[in-house]
Amino acid sequence: MDDLARRYELFGQVEAIGYRPLTEGITRDTTMLGRIAALPEAKQQPNLLFAAVRYLGGPTASYPAFAAFVAGRWPEVRATMLARSTQTNEAARCAVLLPALGLLDGPLALVEVGASAGLCLYPDRYGYRYTLPGGREHLVGPPEGAFTCAVDGPAPLPGRTPEVVWRAGVDLNPLDVRDPDTVAWLRALIWPWQPERLAHLERAIAVAEREPPPLVRGDLNDTVEELVAAAPQGATVVVYHTAVMPYLSQAERERFATTVRGLPCHWLANEGPARMPWARMPQPPPSGRAVMVLVLDGRPLAYAGPHGQSLSWFA
């Protein structure tokens, strides 16, 4: 119970500060902690609990209202947590992938592992507004609804979006944005104090509805080789992943790294630094916020905001 309370406390302090009233309440509420502790370990995540409550229409602004909802509807909250997982699909992470993709000769064939609904498979369809020190801006692609990303350091911002001739993704549980219930779940995963992320989701869903992403169901370690082999001749294949490594054991991460290094492809990772023990990096920016590191073919390039909102290039 102490470890669980600490996990919730950290989530509210470091990752999702807007949920702090809830995480502080939970750490002091032994009944609530007991309910969560009785779930399988993989289902004890703070984000899963909060998304389940939001999906069911419950309140998350104050702890007393949240706790009363959970107490009254626990069978439904529990069933939702058991049935679903934290598959947050953040299309705006394409804003941090784009400069790395721009370093590669095209045309590109994209293979995304851990793709969720595949919304990060369209870096060529979105627009990007990079804000630079001194108030300058660098626009790439269509400006309407562009993802905003604050950049510092010598990031090689591309002049245009990459040419993508083929794309495919794999997920243990691929999501289909044409299913309203799935979309309701994806919305519930977005933190309520971040309406701009909801706008990103709606925009990306519109793209994916027009051109449903080719997603296969499976484990990335079992499928990455065949996906790379399926890419068209003459295209530069890029295997990439964002916010996926926490779901793998250390052994699974190492197996994946070994496999990808042996394939005829580039490998682009956007993951938490602790999940990438094979990469050597400078100290992260002293923001105190959770950061990710962008690594191309084993070479760390930049720190990135967890939802694609910032890029600190250091390579």
Ligand X SMILES: C[S@@+](CC[C@H](N)C(=O)[O-])C[C@H]1O[C@@H](n2cnc3c(N)ncnc32)[C@H](O)[C@@H]1O
Q: What is the contact surface with ligand X in residues (CB under 6 A)?
A: 86-90, 93, 113-116, 120, 170-173, 219-220, 242-244, 247-248
With contact defined as beta carbons under 8 Å apart, do 170 and 228 qualify?
no
Measured on CA atoms in the order 8, 14, 19, 20, is the torsion positive or negative?
Answer: positive
Contact 271, 244 (CB under 8 A): yes
Q: How far is the CB of 28 from ligand X (least distance, A)?
A: 28
Q: How far is the CB of 190 from ligand X (least distance, A)?
A: 11
Tell which phi-psi region holds residue 153, choosing left (phi > 0), alpha (psi between -120 and 50) or beta: left
Minimal distance in Å, beta carbon 230 to ligand X? Answer: 16
**4/243 with CB nearer ligand X:** 243
163 vs 222 by CB, closer to ligand X:
222
CB of 244 to ligand X, least distance (A): 4
Q: Closer to ligand X at the Cβ: 36 or 292?
A: 292
Q: Whose CB is nearest to ligand X? A: 114
In angstroms, what is the minimal distance from the CB of 219 to ligand X?
4
In the complex with ligand X, the residue whose CB is nearer, 70 or 215, is 215
User: Rounded to an integer, what distance in angstroms lies between the CA atom of residue 23 and that of residue 10?
Assistant: 8
Q: Which pair of structure tokens corresponds to residue 225?
A: 């080789």
Q: Among 314, 267, 308, 315, which Cα is nearest to 291's?
A: 308
Cβ atoms of 63 and 8 closer than 8 Å: no
Nearer to ligand X, 37 or 194 (CB): 194
